[in-house]
Amino acid sequence: MIDDQYKIPKLAITQWNTDNYKTIDVRSPKEFTEFALPNSVNIPIFNNQEREKVGTVYKRNGKDEAIKLGLKLFSEKIPFFYEAILKLKEEVPNKELVVVCARGGLRSSSLVSTLNMVGIHSFQLQGGIRSYREFIVAKLQKYTSRKKRFHVISGNTGTKKTAALHCLKREGYPVIDLEDLAGHRGSAFGKIGMKAKSQKQFEALLVNELERFDTSAYFIIEAESKRIGNIVLPDFILSGKKSGVRIELEAPLEERVNHLLETYQPAKHHQEILEAFQIIKKRMQGHIGIEIEQLLLTEDYETAFEMLLTNYYDPKYTYTALQKTQITHHLTVTNLSETIEEIKNIISSSEIQQRIK
């Protein structure tokens, strides 16, 4: 489709894919970090400060003055854009270029018209990143009406639930790793060593995983609360967790402590551990919180983590587990490989029973 007024080639989000198109996102780095199309590259027309400046001029002096400033900033960077995009085109010679901004407005149209004028054919994504967001929301809504069974890996903190999920996923099982998609482990310490995603980015990644396993009769997830850090899980996943087959992993306290030490690497993240603990400390009995804090300060992480499990995480988990009414299979984790085989047997048996019904 061609815009008759500006002669800008347009591409609808329903036509876009990563196989045929290389996406150039011209929004500011801040916008790009929050939410972006898969495999897109950020070549911003304005940096974060410039975008803020253009917005301020718009509010104070009106649209025309903001456009003048924007065009000035853009024109000064045209040689840079030309070189960067020529290099990108060399890297993906068999793909068409599609340029995206926030709403399919001036930023993307300016670059597309300039590129086509100098002989580099490109498209403008119609509706911009907003059209992609609407596309994701619509797809996510589709899954609310799908009837999928859930197998839920649960257990106290440190029982290697995530490790089990990773093993199953490597073997091709339909695992939806919610913590990985969120970039957060779900606890007060959850963001340590991870890069948290925005809600929009999480939902886009989630849709990709749901579509990847669309033909599967079931999903495998870890038992999560409604929130993982700042991410809110969709209701259909929470409902699936509540009604699904629960596989409860159990492990000796010492092994759980060692697993947490390996996962969080407290010596490497000492200050982050201390800061995260302040959130938990407020919810604990005063003398216990003070003792754990002192252990962390003196870098006795093993004792500190053991006290955190026995005085905070375990009682909290036990209370929540008592509210569960679904079918539960209990597995003691001694050897992870053997545990994985037991999980696979439980899933296989449950699925056979479902087919018989």
Cite the active site residues.
Answer: 101
Backbone angles phi, psi at 251, to 5 degrees: -150, 155
Rounded distance between C-alpha atoms, residue 213 and residue 173, angstroms: 9
Burial class of residue 235, CB neighbours in 10 A (0-12, 13-18, 19+) = exposed
324-349 in b/e form (b: 16+ CB < 10 A) is: eeeeebebebeeeeebbebbeebbee
Burial class of residue 14, CB neighbours in 10 A (0-12, 13-18, 19+) = exposed
Strand 227-228 and strand 231-232: the pairing is antiparallel
Compute CA distances 75 → 79, 119, 174, whole Å: 8, 18, 49
Give CA 31 to chain center in angstroms: 16
159: Cα within 13 Å, side-chain hemisphere: 23
Backbone angles phi, psi at 207, to 5 degrees: -60, -40
